[in-house]
Chains A and B, each alone.
Chain A
């Protein structure tokens, strides 16, 4: 009798512990089962839960289940929804994982709600956020998302002649001598440079010109020297530069030294590097409708338009901001989430620190692009 009781108690305790672990999952269980918000799938009894559930399914790439949960799924196909989530072509979105979803209610009634939802993606190029206003409707006891579908851009069939310049390089060395080119690197020149002290550390801002008649792969390295002659740090421009520079092209650069104060710095050594590369002026990306606004959030917005017939998969917008005297006061950049389809404008926004907003008088924007060879578009 005692044994029977004990066996039942052990079995019951097991069931209870499993139930506890499932109803109130521990953080590691939530990590694998849910989202970075600390949520797992629940009954969609509120608009926020419906949105979080959708986010969890997208995060786990359960797109069929996410599609089935939508209120307006009859208006578009599963494929259209998948393309909207993953990106229509290879792009930052196809190489991203949804981390968290944050929802800000805009309006709510008994059977409908409008919510501003920010999707926080973790991508191959760092964090990327996308905000959409989403309508949520009540269906019985549950809420369902009315998904604001973004459809694949369609361009009428046409022929686009390509007559842009192209430079090829024939290397004379043996196969093993890649990189160790037996020609001098293209002439590049720093045309402006300015250190800036900010809370996050010292930034070295500037612009680099390809002074040569051949394209160059460039980078800029800065070394901070302290007042005692000690090296305080050495960093390069990393992604805050256009590494591929055509003849006479100028790129901004920004080099960050965290944990350094400008008062510690006696001098700065600049090391521009260049190497000859093959390059083409195609594709050309036009920047349209640029508009700088200091308020309410300081940013530069505009549109990118791919003028060629190729799809541009990854795009980085780099902007130099100048003060009234024409000095560089900030360099900012933003990756574009979606690929640029030919002649389909895509919006962009480049953020600016609030404290610099009122000092900015002009700006100059360039676009760095990358399309992998042989990529499946």
Chain B
């Protein structure tokens, strides 16, 4: 039941949520990096986790929020696929999205709650975008803008770097079908509407998470790039090919030739196929130079498993078409293999997460937190070595402040910024930058009131010993060793960067969640039904081609 809690980023998401739970109106969090602003991370899923956490506790709140994201994506996919293919194929696409390998990978392995939420909300908005482009009208415009803003308040990647893959095909489709049906339009009008909604969406997202943009423009990402294996070449490093290609794609790989073939042969599906194809290439990370060509310097900041996720979402309308054709033709002879392949695709990332666990460090952080919380130990700062992503759990449970943390985008400590390592906790995996960062932090312990280092990996002991640190205690029957340095003054407040102002705190507490509630309410308002010619070229079925909104 609690499998999603074992994924890599889960603890970090819960750490953020825990802060919102106790300090809803103050996004300045002093528990990491001597203090950092949570306005550097779009807050929506963490804030919902915090709200639900008051009722169900943080862990179940997190899983409930993750579940809602999956459910919303299924709804959104039915509506989105309905733009491209007939209703039956769209329903298959909606079913398939729940079994998507990437979705499973993100939920059970990577723990990227923000990515699953942004994708769900974004896909929900796309049919309204198409309706606006094709027919105009205030209602779809407002709905699309509010939903896009909600997606942007969940995460920023899709609205900044993924938009082109989703929206360009819809713009192309709207232009291609401008003369279809009773309500005709012109190419110029479609383009003008595209520009208008782009501006409106940009303004809406800018307003809803304004403190985020202020923080980003004030402190653009300047720290040395941190290596991430999704930027590897999957052929030269087969392990990462397994992790970032085979596992997330699963049996969907078998459908790739069909997706290309069908997209190339069907004029209506062609824009979708091309959008999918470019996104697919980007998702290959460093296997091709495409992602580097497109994103330039941002390539070294982004991680690319999410583009595989986007590519799979884009592939689903055509996959749904394939499924509907197979089932129509072969009935149960197709249903059983499809169900098995779906189960394999969904199950593979879960199996992989058990075979190659991302959070394999079995450690009880409770005793460490208790040690820190008693006897004035929390008058000093600390960091951990060898705790893995348990440092977020420790951060939730202790009152003490750490100089380390897992949210790299808003760490301002010079020792952590300039060497290109990840967290100090796993510095040995980031040779040589990680070790240089560790040495620099040990050297400047006095500056930060850093007196404690909790070690779960004796690999680091020599570095501590020769730097003048002493083993002073053991916790949990020796599972964790406490190292200390003499003569360190107590920690005093240190602000690297700028704390958000009071009005930013207010905005952060009101607008993202408020906008998401508004988006939900608007989504539930019924639309007028339109006859959209779909399926004619796709040839999947002879059923009436009525495109209906599921929730409207």
CB pair A32 B236 closer than 8 Å: yes
- Give the nearest-CB partner of B461 in chain A: A372
Complex alpha-carbon distance, A281 and B314, angstroms: 70
Interface residues of A in 1-51 (CB under 8 A from B): 3-4, 6-7, 10-11, 14, 17-18, 20-22, 24-26, 28-29, 31-34, 40
A237 interface residue (CB < 8 Å to B): yes
| Complex contacts, A238 vs chain B, CB 8 Å | 442-443, 467-468
| Complex contacts, B235 vs chain A, CB 8 Å | 18, 22
Contact of A17 with B264 at beta-carbon distance under 8 Å, contacts A124-B459, A314-B466 already known: no
CB pair A28 B227 closer than 8 Å: yes
Complex alpha-carbon distance, A329 and B265, angstroms: 80
B458 interface residue (CB < 8 Å to A): yes
CB pair B233 A29 closer than 8 Å: yes
B460 interface residue (CB < 8 Å to A): yes
CB pair B486 A217 closer than 8 Å: yes
A99 interface residue (CB < 8 Å to B): yes
CB pair B487 A273 closer than 8 Å: yes
CB pair A314 B462 closer than 8 Å: yes
- Give the nearest-CB partner of A98 in chain B: B431
Shortest beta-carbon distance from B249 to chain A in Å: 14
B: contact size bracket:
35 or more
A320 interface residue (CB < 8 Å to B): no
Query: Per a CB cutoff under 8 Å, which of B236, B257, B281, B484 touches A29?
Result: B236
CB pair A22 B375 closer than 8 Å: no
B338 interface residue (CB < 8 Å to A): no
Shortest beta-carbon distance from B55 to chain A in Å: 37
- Give the nearest-CB partner of B436 in chain A: A126
A228 interface residue (CB < 8 Å to B): no
Query: Per a CB cutoff under 8 Å, which of A32, A241, A313 touches B240?
Result: A32
Q: Flag A303-316 by CB within 8 Å of B: 1 or 0 each.
A: 00000000001101
B381 interface residue (CB < 8 Å to A): no
- Give the nearest-CB partner of A1 in chain B: B265
CB pair B277 A10 closer than 8 Å: yes
CB pair B237 A32 closer than 8 Å: yes
Complex alpha-carbon distance, A234 and B443, angstroms: 11
Interface of A is mostly: mixed
Contact of A28 with B466 at beta-carbon distance under 8 Å, contacts A4-B265, A21-B287, A271-B487 already known: no
Q: Flag B196-235 by CB within 8 Å of A: 1 or 0 each.
A: 0000000000000000000000000000000111011101
Complex alpha-carbon distance, A221 and B431, angstroms: 29
B446 interface residue (CB < 8 Å to A): yes
Shortest beta-carbon distance from B268 to chain A in Å: 12
Interface residues of B in 372-407 (CB under 8 A from A): 374-375
A150 interface residue (CB < 8 Å to B): no
A52 interface residue (CB < 8 Å to B): no
Q: Flag A333-360 by CB within 8 Å of B: 1 or 0 each.
A: 0010000000000000000000000000
Complex alpha-carbon distance, A271 and B487, angstroms: 10
| Complex contacts, A326 vs chain B, CB 8 Å | none
A365 interface residue (CB < 8 Å to B): no
A73 interface residue (CB < 8 Å to B): no
A368 interface residue (CB < 8 Å to B): yes
- Give the nearest-CB partner of A174 in chain B: B375
| Complex contacts, B460 vs chain A, CB 8 Å | 124
| Complex contacts, B160 vs chain A, CB 8 Å | none
A127 interface residue (CB < 8 Å to B): yes
CB pair B231 A28 closer than 8 Å: yes
| Complex contacts, B233 vs chain A, CB 8 Å | 21-22, 25-26, 29, 32-33
CB pair A18 B458 closer than 8 Å: no
Complex alpha-carbon distance, A229 and B197, angstroms: 60
Complex alpha-carbon distance, A221 and B261, angstroms: 71
Complex alpha-carbon distance, A29 and B260, angstroms: 27
A130 interface residue (CB < 8 Å to B): no
Complex alpha-carbon distance, A95 and B462, angstroms: 10
CB pair A20 B288 closer than 8 Å: yes
| Complex contacts, A335 vs chain B, CB 8 Å | 466
Q: Flag A159-193 by CB within 8 Å of B: 1 or 0 each.
A: 00000000000000001101100000000000000
Interface residues of A in 241-261 (CB under 8 A from B): 241, 243
B127 interface residue (CB < 8 Å to A): no
Complex alpha-carbon distance, A109 and B548, angstroms: 78
Query: Per a CB cutoff under 8 Å, which of A7, A14, A32, A375 touches B265?
Result: A7
| Complex contacts, B374 vs chain A, CB 8 Å | 176
B463 interface residue (CB < 8 Å to A): yes
CB pair A124 B237 closer than 8 Å: no
Query: Per a CB cutoff under 8 Å, which of B237, B261, B467 touches A239?
Result: B467
| Complex contacts, A86 vs chain B, CB 8 Å | none
| Complex contacts, A123 vs chain B, CB 8 Å | 435
CB pair A219 B484 closer than 8 Å: no
- Give the nearest-CB partner of A314 in chain B: B462
Complex alpha-carbon distance, A149 and B465, angstroms: 31
CB pair A21 B375 closer than 8 Å: no
Query: Which of A175, A221, A372 is packed against the most chain B CB atoms within 10 Å?
Result: A372
CB pair A14 B281 closer than 8 Å: yes
Interface residues of A in 212-249 (CB under 8 A from B): 217, 219, 221, 234-239, 241, 243
Contact of A17 with B236 at beta-carbon distance under 8 Å, contacts A4-B265, A26-B292, A277-B470 already known: no
Query: Per a CB cutoff under 8 Å, which of B229, B264, B461, B484 touches A3?
Result: B264
CB pair A368 B446 closer than 8 Å: no
- Give the nearest-CB partner of B274 in chain A: A10
A65 interface residue (CB < 8 Å to B): no
A319 interface residue (CB < 8 Å to B): no
CB pair A99 B432 closer than 8 Å: yes
B527 interface residue (CB < 8 Å to A): no
Complex alpha-carbon distance, A335 and B466, angstroms: 10
Complex alpha-carbon distance, A233 and B227, angstroms: 33
Complex alpha-carbon distance, A324 and B437, angstroms: 39
B535 interface residue (CB < 8 Å to A): no
| Complex contacts, B231 vs chain A, CB 8 Å | 28-29, 32
| Complex contacts, A316 vs chain B, CB 8 Å | 466
Shortest beta-carbon distance from B420 to chain A in Å: 11
Contact of A18 with B287 at beta-carbon distance under 8 Å, contacts A124-B428, A277-B470 already known: yes
Interface residues of A in 53-88 (CB under 8 A from B): none
B284 interface residue (CB < 8 Å to A): yes
Contact of A28 with B486 at beta-carbon distance under 8 Å, contacts A3-B265, A99-B432, A372-B461 already known: no
| Complex contacts, B426 vs chain A, CB 8 Å | none
Shortest beta-carbon distance from A24 to chain B in Å: 8
CB pair A32 B264 closer than 8 Å: no
Query: Which of A10, A99, A176, A235 is packed against the most chain B CB atoms within 10 Å?
Result: A10
Contact of A234 with B435 at beta-carbon distance under 8 Å, contacts A28-B232, A32-B240 already known: no
B491 interface residue (CB < 8 Å to A): no
Query: Per a CB cutoff under 8 Å, which of B288, B300, B432, B443 touches A21?
Result: B288
Query: Per a CB cutoff under 8 Å, which of B227, B261, B300, B432 touches A122?
Result: B432
26 contacts between A and B (CB under 8 A): A3-B261, A3-B266, A7-B261, A7-B265, A10-B264, A20-B288, A22-B235, A26-B286, A28-B292, A32-B231, A32-B232, A32-B233, A33-B232, A33-B237, A97-B431, A99-B431, A124-B460, A124-B462, A124-B463, A126-B439, A176-B375, A179-B484, A235-B443, A239-B466, A239-B467, A239-B468
Extra inter-chain contacts (15) besides given A21-B284, A32-B227, A126-B436, CB under 8 Å: A18-B287, A22-B287, A24-B289, A28-B299, A32-B237, A32-B240, A34-B236, A40-B236, A92-B462, A97-B431, A122-B431, A125-B462, A178-B484, A179-B484, A241-B468
The chain B residues found within 8 Å of chain A, CB to CB, are 227-229, 231-233, 235-237, 240, 257, 260-261, 263-266, 270, 273, 277, 281, 284-290, 292, 299-300, 374-375, 428, 431-432, 435-436, 439, 442-443, 446, 458-463, 465-468, 470, 472-473, 484, 486-487
Closest 7 A/B residue pairs (Cβ) = A3-B265, A29-B233, A33-B236, A29-B286, A32-B232, A28-B231, A7-B264
